[in-house]
């Protein structure tokens, strides 16, 4: 290995000193913005604070972005009130620091807490208040609140109200709603973002704006367009939806020996067109019994939520999907809030779990695609082969989420999230590996790309659509630190937003022309020196 040159060493020292200087400038600026700096000192963490590392790592779930070489923020701010955020925005600009905004830490590529230039993290974890108005069927949700806590607070007020957000209960509302937010109620009620009716955002000028003050263009953009491109959303007002007192959940597992290939092939025709009260998704994994080369099989799990009782569900399934062989003993009638636990394999009797769930940490890489035509049986057989590779030993999962129903009724341009009619389902492949394989992380990432290549003939094209909340930096990778041009951004922008990308760029140009709120896949403003398509 070559010895670093003196000039390179000096450059690294200079970079570190500049970063330290920027952090000092930020803190000095903040001290002038508050009459009593001690009033916020308990929410400001620098690398010298003993709690810095625990605060940073608390909601980092993907350990690919928690290594010694991962760039760390100069300062972490955990505001306890929205009024503490405008001074941070002002002072970060003055100190020349980028801002990253974190609400839950599920960021697939770590963009909410990693940057390649000196930066500060605004962690919204303490802005987690939830206020439910059961009479009006609305709720205000702090951006740092988890989806599980939202479900719990709704259930406190009413057994027949719900909200169509994610099945993963540790998601933070901020990023989840801002990127769209799908879940088991989406075929009935659409996405979380479809049901947002107001919001509070701190803009680049430090103003705290609600829907009326921000205007309809910005309100449109933050619901599914990636809110962190436009400001710091501190709270969302959502429209709650009606559910029956009793719903039914089930899980049916089938292996290849139990005709899983035929059943999942048929699922493609049934799940997107069946009654919108029924959501049946598919999880494909490798059972522990398949570890031996002599016992090669795949486990296909059909997991469902039905907004009704089992006596109505069984004849519906017999008419439309008899090949699954659903039986009464596979089903469990619960309240809706209990179903959110049961679907995840938790005991439904203890709702307090919704407030205390801990997300497991690990190494992972995921990619998403949209399927518009049923995949042939031989296409699935090729997927099964992926589960027999050595890389699958740690954990490979395919998730198939059906569309149709309400998702097909909403216009592509209603909000920035464009994946509506014409899509049968979202297909995601997720690779997990453990600490013992951490040094081989790049090999797992490359394997994920090979799986992506395999799927090419079976998924959407021109553009090859992808889901924003499953960010993938393999799409339109920008290796240059600094500004992203319209042309660079449109590579991934078309995949995430299709024709809505141009409107997002116009809104960005209007509200943040200096591109202060940015990351590797944020919406860029148009520059006067740029020509569209440059």
CATH of the domain at 375: 3.40.462.20
Mean pLDDT by 10 residues, the chain (534 residues): 41 45 88 72 90 95 94 96 96 96 94 95 98 98 98 98 97 97 98 98 98 98 98 98 98 96 98 98 83 73 98 98 98 98 95 93 96 98 89 83 98 98 98 87 92 97 97 76 76 97 98 96 77 40
Buried b (16+ CB within 10 A) or exposed e, 133-169: eeeebbbbbbbbbbbbbbbbbbbeebbebbbbbbbbb
Query: Residue 38: its pLDDT value, please?
Result: 62
The answer to whether residue 152 sits within a structural domain is yes
Q: Within this chain, do residues 53 and 104 fall inside the same structural domain, yes or no?
A: yes
Nearest residue to 271 (alpha-carbon basis) of 299, 300, 244, 245: 300
User: CA nearest 416: which of 246, 264, 273, 219?
Assistant: 219
CA-to-CA separations, 106 to 176, 365, 439, 445, 475, in angstroms, rounded: 9, 12, 22, 18, 19
Residue 186: CATH number of its domain: 3.30.465.10
397: in domain:
yes
Domain stop point among 467, 498, 515 = 467
The answer to whether position 491 is within a domain reads no
pLDDT for residue 438: 84
For residue 459, give both structure tokens.
């998924």
**Quick check: is 477 in a domain?**
no
Q: What is the pTM of this model?
A: 0.93
The answer to the question of residue 62 being in a domain is: yes
Residues 51 and 107 in one domain: yes
* Inter-axis angle of helices 260-270 and 377-386, nearest 10: 120
Please report whether residue 344 resides in a domain. Answer: no
What is the residue range of 420's domain?
Answer: 247-334+360-467
Residues 401 and 446 in one domain: yes
Q: Specify whether 310 is located in the same domain as 434.
A: yes
User: In this structure, are 136 and 82 located in the same domain?
Assistant: no
Domain co-membership, 67 together with 141: no
Residue 308: per-residue pLDDT: 98
Domain tally, the chain: 3
- Report the side by side order of strands in the sheet with 299-306: 331-334, 247-255, 299-306, 278-285, 396-402, 425-433, 363-371
**What pLDDT sits at residue 486?**
85
The pair of structure tokens assigned to 175 is: 């990023």
In-domain check, residue 534:
no
The pairing of beta strand 75-77 with beta strand 119-123: parallel
C-alpha 110 chain-centroid distance = 11
Q: What is the pLDDT of residue 437?
A: 84
Spatial separation of the C-alpha atoms in residues 147 and 355, rounded to whole Å: 9
What confidence score (pLDDT) does residue 33 get?
A: 81
Same domain, 78 and 144: no
Peptide linkage before 463 cis (omega within 30 of 0) = yes
Could you tell me if residue 493 is inside a domain?
Answer: no
Q: Angle CA(441)–CA(444)–CA(445) in degrees, nearest 5? A: 90
* Rounded Cα–Cα distance for residues 312 and 244 (Å): 13
Give catalytic residue positions. Answer: 470
Instruction: Determine the Cα–Cα distance for residues 128 and 235; give it in Å rounded to an integer.
Output: 9
- The reply to whether 116 and 134 lie within a common domain is no
Residues 6+ away with beta carbon under 8 Å from 276 = 187, 188, 404, 405, 406
Are 301 and 283 a contacting pair, CB within 8 Å?
yes
Model pLDDT, residue 75: 95
- With H, G, I as helix, E, B as strand and everything else as coil, classify residue 479: coil
Looking at residue 196, its pLDDT comes to 98
Same domain, 260 and 203: no
Is 379 in the same domain as 267?
yes
**How many C-beta atoms surround the C-beta of residue 384 within 10 A?**
18
Return the DSSP state at 353.
H
- Helix, strand, or coil (residue 47): coil
- CATH number for position 41: 3.30.43.10
Crossing angle, helix 486-497 and helix 500-511, to 10 degrees? Answer: 130
| Claim to verify: residue 275 and residue 411 sit in the same structural domain | yes
Residues 219, 82, 226, 171: is their CA dihedral positive or negative? negative
Q: Which of 242, 276, 291 is the last residue of a domain?
A: 242
Task: Please report the pLDDT score of residue 209 as a whole number.
Answer: 98
Same domain, 190 and 41: no
Residue that finishes a domain, picked among 58, 90, 123: 123
Strand order in the sheet with 119-123: 44-46, 75-77, 119-123, 98-102
Under 8 Å between Cβ of 400 and 383: no
């Amino acid at each position: 290995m070559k010895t670093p040159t003196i000039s390179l060493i000096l450059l690294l020292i200079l970079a570190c000193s500049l970063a330290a200087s920027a952090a000092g400038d930020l803190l000095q600026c903040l001290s002038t913005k508050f009459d009593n700096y001690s009033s916020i000192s308990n929410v400001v963490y620098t690398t010298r604070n003993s709690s810095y590392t625990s605060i940073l790592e608390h909601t980092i779930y993907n350990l690919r972005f928690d290594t010694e070489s991962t760039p760390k923020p100069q300062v972490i701010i955990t505001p306890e009130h929205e009024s503490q955020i405008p001074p941070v925005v002002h002072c970060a600009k003055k100190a020349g620091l980028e801002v990253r905004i974190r609400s839950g830490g599920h960021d697939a590529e770590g963009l909410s807490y990693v940057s390649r230039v000196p930066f500060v993290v605004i962690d919204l974890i303490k802005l987690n208040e939830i206020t439910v108005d059961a009479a009006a069927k609305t709720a205000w949700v702090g951006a740092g609140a988890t989806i599980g806590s939202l479900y719990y607070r709704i259930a406190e007020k009413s057994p027949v109200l719900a909200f169509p957000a994610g099945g993963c209960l540790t998601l933070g509302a901020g990023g989840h709603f801002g990127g769209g937010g799908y879940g088991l109620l989406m075929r009935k009620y659409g996405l979380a973002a479809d049901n947002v009716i107001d919001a509070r955002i701190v803009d680049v000028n430090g103003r705290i704006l609600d829907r009326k003050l921000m205007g309809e263009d910005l309100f449109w953009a933050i619901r599914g367009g990636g809110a962190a491109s436009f400001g710091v959303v501190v709270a969302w007002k959502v429209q709650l939806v009606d559910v029956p007192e009793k719903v039914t959940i089930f899980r049916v597992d089938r292996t290849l020996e139990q005709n899983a290939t035929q059943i999942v092939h048929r699922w493609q025709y049934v799940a997107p067109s069946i009654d919108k009260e029924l959501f049946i998704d598919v999880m494909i994994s490798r059972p522990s019994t398949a570890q031996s080369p002599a016992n090669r099989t795949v486990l296909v799990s059909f997991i469902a939520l039905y907004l009704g009782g089992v006596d109505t569900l069984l004849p519906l399934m017999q008419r439309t999907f008899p090949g699954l062989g659903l039986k009464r003993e596979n089903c469990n009638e619960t309240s809706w809030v209990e179903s959110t636990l049961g679907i995840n394999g938790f005991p439904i009797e203890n709702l307090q779990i919704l407030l205390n769930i801990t997300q497991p940490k690990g190494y992972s890489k995921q990619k998403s695609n949209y399927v518009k035509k049923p995949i042939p049986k031989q296409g699935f057989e090729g997927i099964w082969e992926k589960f027999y590779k050595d890389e699958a030993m740690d954990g490979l999962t395919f998730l198939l989420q059906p569309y149709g129903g309400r998702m097909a009724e909403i216009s592509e341009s209603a909000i920035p999230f464009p994946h509506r009619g014409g899509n049968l389902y979202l297909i995601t492949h997720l690779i997990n590996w453990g600490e013992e394989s951490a040094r081989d992380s790049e090999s797992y990432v490359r394997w994920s790309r090979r799986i992506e290549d395999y799927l090419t003939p079976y998924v959407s094209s021109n553009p090859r659509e992808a889901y924003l909340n499953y960010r993938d930096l393999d799409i339109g990778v920008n290796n240059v630190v600094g500004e992203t041009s319209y042309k660079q951004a449109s590579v991934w922008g078309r995949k995430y937003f299709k024709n809505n990308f141009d409107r997002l760029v116009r809104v960005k140009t209007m509200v943040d022309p200096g591109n202060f709120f940015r990351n590797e896949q944020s919406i860029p403003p148009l520059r006067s020196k740029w020509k569209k398509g440059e």
